[in-house]
Every structure is written in C-alpha cells, then in structure tokens.
Structure 1
Amino acid sequence: MPPDPRTSPVGSPRVLAGPLGAAPPAPQVPRALRTAFATGFKGDSPALNPCIFLFLSTIYYLLSTIPLYAAEVLEKTVASVNGETIYLSDYESNVGNVLEELKKTNPGAELSPTRLRDARSNVLQQMIDDLVLLQEAKRRSLKIYDKDVESGIAEVKNRFKKDDLGRPVPEAESERLFMAELKRQRLSYGDFQERIKKQLMVIKLVDAEVRARVGPAKDDEVKEFFNKLKKVVAKPASAAQVAVNKEEEEELTKLAQLFRDRTAERIRARHVLLKIPAGATMVEKSKTLSRIKEIKKEAEAGADFAELAEGHSQDTESAKRGGDLGYFIRGWMVPAFEAAAFSLPLGKISEPVETEFGYHIIVVEEKKAATPLRFNEVEEDLMQYVQQRGFQKKLKEFVSKLREKATIKILKDPVADSAEKFPGDNKLNNQ
C-alpha cells in the first residue's frame, strides 16, 4: 500500500495520519523525495525529484488520533482533555504508526532510547492538540456535509490505487487493500466515515482561523532565507551564526543538506546483484563470482542489461525496474559500490564489485555534474516553504491558546509514567 509519511524535515516527527487519514485540501505538498535504490545498500537515502526537491511537509496534517466513540469503562486511559478521554490503546496504535514510518525511512537503524522517548512524547502531545481542536470545532458547530465526507473518503481510497512504484492498481485490488487496512485498524466502515468527518471538522476550523490569516510570503523574506541557506550549504558550521535562534539553526542545517544533495554531482546507474549467503565457503563465493562474470559477458556481447537484471538480479526491488537505481550522489551507496560507479565511463560495464551484499556488475547511463545553487531555480519552492513556516507558527499559537483554556490531565504518562495535572500554561501543555 502506498506509504503516507507525515514527518517534518525541520522539526520533530509528527504523528502519522496513516493511509486512512484525511489531508487538508490545499495547499498541495510538492512530492520531493523518492527512494532511489532498494534494500541492500547503505540506508535508504532519498534521491531528489529533478523538478521539485524541497520536502515541504511542514503543512499541518490532521491525524488518525482523534477518538471515535467512548471505549469500555475498564480500558486504560492516558489523558483527558476537558473531561474527554484519550485511551491507552489509541495512543499505542499511533505510536506504532510513528515507529513503523521511522523504520521505513531508516531501514535497519536502531532507535535510540532518547529518540523513542521523544517520539512517544510527541504522539501524546499531538493527540492532545487534535482533541482540543476537535472540541473547538464542535463548540462552533461547524457543519460538514455528506458530500464533503464522500470526497474525503474518495481521496483516501485514491491512495490505494497506485503501488509503491506509482503503478496503477486494479480497482478490485485497491478496494481489497482499502478494506484490509480498515480491518488492520479495527475500524468498521461507519467508524471510518466518522473519523473522516471529525478530521474534516478540524481542517475547516484550521482553514478559517489560521490558513485564511496567513498571506503569501514576501519577496524580501524569501530572498533573506535563501541567502542564509546558501551560506549554510557552503559552510555547514555557519548555521549557528546566521540563524536567529536554535530552532532556525536546526531548520537551516537540515534544509541545507537537501540543497547540498540536490546540487551535488550525481549519476544514474543499473546493476545486477548476486548475493553471497552468510557463511558462504570460498567455493560458493567462487561459483557466484563466475556466474556474475558470465552475465557480464552476455551484456558485453549485446544482451540488454535491463533484461539481464530482471532475469538474474537478486536485488528484487531494482530488478523490477531492470536494475535501475535512479540518480544517486556520493555518500548514498556503500563505499566499494560508490567508488566503482563514479569511476565508470558512460555505458561501460564494470568488473564484478564485491560488497557486503554480494557481487555486482554496474553500468552508468547518465552523469550530471555538480551545479551552483541558483535562486531562480528554487524561488517557487522556497516561497511555499516560507509561507508554510508562517502558517505553522500561527497554528502553534492558535493551538496554544486553546490549550491554555483547557483542563488537561495526564492520568498515566506513558513516557515518564507519572500522574500529573497540567491546566493552563505550563511546559507539557504547550510543547
């Protein structure tokens, strides 16, 4: 099923909307990052979309954290907001969604205790935010029409109509995947409709109170931000000097890395991988090496490299694309593979390359030299980014005011395992 990341590159991960969450209708988030290579390489680093590269995920997404109905009396509770309960089961479900997405974006990486604790804390705070927003939307009696709910459901179902590679999924299969996700989340179709309705109520509230009051970014503001970013791209250590506060320093540092990656030298290559099993004997390794050499000879004799990859490569994900790894830059592949790939002339097939995953043969199809960072090429994306940054600031202020008026009780703190009451203005309520 299509992944639905809801994380911000400039702040703490947000709770995931998940595949069944409603997203606000506008503005659209440019799709910026895509997986460039499959399992078997160092990490799962994103290659940049050549047209739109900035991952503008700071737009607020409504989540699947909003409770549906009252649970059984005996169910354990985590917190309450103005007397309305947040249940432990809902909390743990959302934590699971967050951790699942963190693992997808960092395959094989272990979450540190600090990062795990931060993720759990962020989930609880986001659930509280969602609930105060929903309560305010109800207080104002915001009307959501059936046609709005139907449109929201259709938007969610559309996410199941393409696979992870963007290929169309047959209608019957997409419907099966959708129903399977409902079952996985233990939702009836009626529950799902109710969730969409509640999320749309909050979206309507946020649109009226926040989005409508945020104007377009000013030209001089965008240019100033670009100039700061350009300095940090050239000299990462300068972030502390050009930023106005610690938050902006972290933001500039992370965005600068995206820009640095975008402008770096890059190549596009295909490969064939024959794996070496763990504990393989020298005889087994020799047989694998001989086989990869045979495949290389076939390619040099005129066989289509993509067809050879489809038929022989044991990197199953890239094999589906004829061994295509997309564009990648230095630092994204394991050293031996990277060194071989970047040293190859266009169209020449490499000698077998041994990595921790097995033997590879590589062919480079395109090369792009490093380019300078030009304002006119990134202006539109930065304009959207700066506008969304202003939106995030206003949204945070709006939610903080709602929290100040709310009575929030942490009945069983799943992070610190303490029981405290936090009415009004204090650190936990206004994180």
Structure 2
Amino acid sequence: MLLVIASLWLPSCRKAAAPSPSTASTATPAAPAAPGAGQPAGAAPAIKPMPANIPPVVARVNGEAIERWEFDNAVKRIEARAGAPVPPDKRDEVLRSVLDQLIAYHLLAQESRARKMDVDDAAVEAQMGQIRGSFPTDQAFQQGIAAQGLTIDQVRQQTRTNLLVQKVIDAEVASKIVVQDADVSAFYQQNLERFKQGDTVHASHILIGLPQNPTPEQKTQAKTKAQAVLKQVRSGGDFAALARAESQDTGSAQNGGDLGFFPKGQMTPAFEEAAFKTKPGAVTAVVETPFGFHIIKVHERRAPRTAPLAEVGGQIKNFLEQGQREQKLEQFVAQVKTK
C-alpha cells in the first residue's frame, strides 16, 4: 500500500515480478471499493477530480502539510516504475491514489511520533549512506536526486519519515504475522500449476549502476568502470569477491552477485538475452540495461520442471507473509484514521 511512497533508490536488473510465489511482488492490489450509495451494483465509485494545477500544499494531515514536492516525487516514482507518464485518462485516479497513500503515510509517521518511537540522527545518516552507496559516485548521487526534483534536505526528511513509519509498522504489523508450515504446504498443493517452470538459468552479476535519466558523461563513466571490472574478471579475478566489492545491486552484492535461478520473462530483455545465450561457466561482455551496466556469469542451465516444495517453500512463506502484511497494514491504517 505504501511501497510506492518509500524512497526506492536501490538498482536491480529485474522487471516487475509476476504475481506468483516464485517471483512474488512485494505488493498486492487493493480490493475494489464497495459501490457508493445510489450506484448500481458493480459500478465504480466516482473519483474526486484533482486540480489541474497542484497547489504548494496538497493536503494537511492533522495540521501537517503534504507539500507539492513530496507529492510530485511520489508521482515520478510511479511513472518511473511504469516506464511512462500517467495517462491523461487515468490522471485523477492515479493522483488521487497517490494522495490517499501519502495521507496514510503521514498518519503512520504521526502515530510513530505519538508513541515516542524516535529515530536518531545516526540512523538517518546510516540510511543516507546506503542511498549514496547505490550510486557510482557522489556526483551521480547529487544528479540522481536532482532528477527526482529533490534536495539533500528533502531526501533526509523522507529518510527520517520512512524510518519512523517502519518502526510503527514493525510494532503493529510485522510482529503479528504468522504463517505455519501447514499453510505453506496447502498453498503449494493448491497451486501446483504456478510452480511449473520453463527453461531457467542460474547466474550472478556485477552491476555498475546508473541514476534515472543519466547524462552521457555518467553513462560513459559507468561503462568504463564496468569494462575495468570485466577485465579483472577475465584476468582471473574472483567473480564473487569482485561483486561484493564493486556491484551496486545491494540485493545481490553481499551474496557475491548471486541471483539464483530465474526463468525467461523475469529480467529485463537485454539481461535475459545475454544470460540465456551464455554457456555455463562463461562470463558475458558488458551488458547495458536501464539499471546500468552488468557483467553476468552463468553457472547452470535447467530444463523445464515443477519446482519441489523444498525449493519454493521459503518463497511461498514470504508471499503469504506479505499478504498478511498488506491486510494487517490496511487494517492498522484504518484504525489510525479513526483517532
């Protein structure tokens, strides 16, 4: 529900995940709202139009302003995920949804502060350091936040708020999520079709990342660095060690760049093509995607099969936990709104 609002700076190579446990997305679509009074059953409720020109203060939540820069940044993140601007015929629907999520986000931050769940400066700066570390250089970081229409102070403010929101979610939502082994097994047996796999490949990668809307100079710098890393790999350098030291995909770098097995359709096209045409044990040339420049090492190819429960059980558990998380989060937000 609130995932599009959080600061999602970390680069990757995956496309949006398909809605199956083996590639489960971290968000689930909200249930459709009930028809409004006087509307025929099944009719969508009317969406309140958004102003043609968004004002400097978009809304107030218990007197706290939601400013235009925050609203605009949330919209930009949605557009970046979609890879396209908000369609004109969906403008009111999308912008109203963003505003509703921001209101919920501010309510959660206020609830966290009311419970005295303080976030100290050290925690904020540590998170800022992780954000900076996802960019190849400090200059790229500065340019990246400027492209988002943000200042350093605004990023720091968002970071502090994100940590506040996470604290109250951990206390009221995460601590109450329970998924038993029997739940995992039942889901697997009831959804065997979802675990049938086509050809898959096991690969690792090293990513030299790019900010959104990179300049030609940034692309040149990143590609040059990627080529230098590739030269080290081909000269006998340990791929996993280089991934831990150089890769800017923080989701895989600590594991030596290991992405596990993945099927066709899960990665961006250029990444997928390179991985599936490379022989096990080989390393690709530098591959460019919208996330940056990748060096890919292929470990193994696997023929079509049905993945066993022992292999996908952890992913199913995460999927079911996320479903509970979304449900409990919506319930908690509704509770906070009544205060």
- TM-score surpassing 0.5? yes
Select 1:213's aligned residue among 162, 176, 181.
Answer: 176
Alpha-carbon contact 1:132-1:402 (below 8 Å) kept:
yes
Distance in 2 between the 1:136 and 1:54 partners? Answer: 33
- Per the normalisation by structure 1, the TM-score is 0.45
Question: In the alignment, which residue of structure 1 is the partner of 2:78?
Answer: 98
Is the 1:267–1:327 contact (alpha carbons within 8 Å) kept by the matching residues of 2?
yes
Which of structures 1 and 2 has the larger relative contact order (alpha carbons within 8 angstroms, sep 6+)?
Answer: 2
2:27 maps to 1:58: yes
- 1:79 is aligned to 59
Of residues 321, 328, 335, the one that matches 1:387 is: 321
Change in CA separation of 1:196 and 1:228 when aligned onto 2, cut-off 3 Å? same
1:176 to 115, 139, 144: 139
**Aligned residue number for residue 378 of structure 1:** 312
Shift of 1:128: 0.8
- State which structure, 1 or 2, has the greater radius of gyration over its C-alpha atoms: 1
Residue matched to 2:104: 129
Quote the Cα distance in structure 2 between the aligned partners of 1:95 and 1:124.
9
CA distance 1:118–1:14, shift in 2 (3 Å): farther
- Structure 2 residue aligned with 1:203: 166
Tell me the CA shift for residue 398 of structure 1: 0.7
Superposition deviation, residue 79 in structure 1: 2.4
Q: Distance in 2 between matches of 1:404 and 1:149?
A: 30
Q: CA deviation at 1:115?
A: 5.6
State the match for 1:227 in structure 2.
189
Structure 2: distance between partners of 1:211 and 1:13 = 14
Would the aligned equivalents of 2:174 and 2:325 in 1 still touch at CA under 8 Å?
Answer: yes
Change in 2 beyond 3 A, CA 1:46/1:399: closer
* Matched residue count: 232
Paired residues for 1:29-428 under 5 Å? 34-35=13-14, 53-58=22-27, 75-103=55-83, 117-160=92-135, 169=136, 173=137, 175-215=138-178, 217-230=179-192, 233=193, 256=194, 259-260=195-196, 263-265=197-199, 329=264, 368-405=302-339
Structure 2 CA distance, aligned partners of 1:385 and 1:205? 21
Change (3 A) 1:121 1:374: farther
Question: How big is each residue's C-alpha offset from its partner over 1:68-108, in whole Å with a ceiling of 9 and x where there is no partner?
Answer: xxxxxx954332222323234432332122112111xxxxx
- How far apart, CA to CA, are the structure 2 residues paired with 1:333 and 1:193? 31
Query: What is the CA-CA distance between 1:379 and the residue it aligns to?
Result: 0.6
Task: State the identity %.
Answer: 22
Distance change (3 Å), C-alpha of 1:264 and 1:193:
same
Structure 1 runs not aligned, ≥5 long:
1-11, 22-30, 36-43, 60-73, 104-108, 161-168, 234-255, 269-325, 347-364, 406-431
Q: Pick closer, same or farther for the CA change 1:219–1:188 going to 2, 3 Å.
A: same
Q: How far did 1:400 drift?
A: 0.8
**Residue identity in the other structure for 1:54:** T
1:159 Cα deviation after fit: 1.8
1:403/1:75 CA distance change after superposition, 3 Å: same
Is the alpha carbon distance of 1:116 and 1:207 closer, same or farther for their aligned partners in structure 2, counting shifts above 3 Å?
same
CA distance in 2, matches of 1:182, 1:226: 42
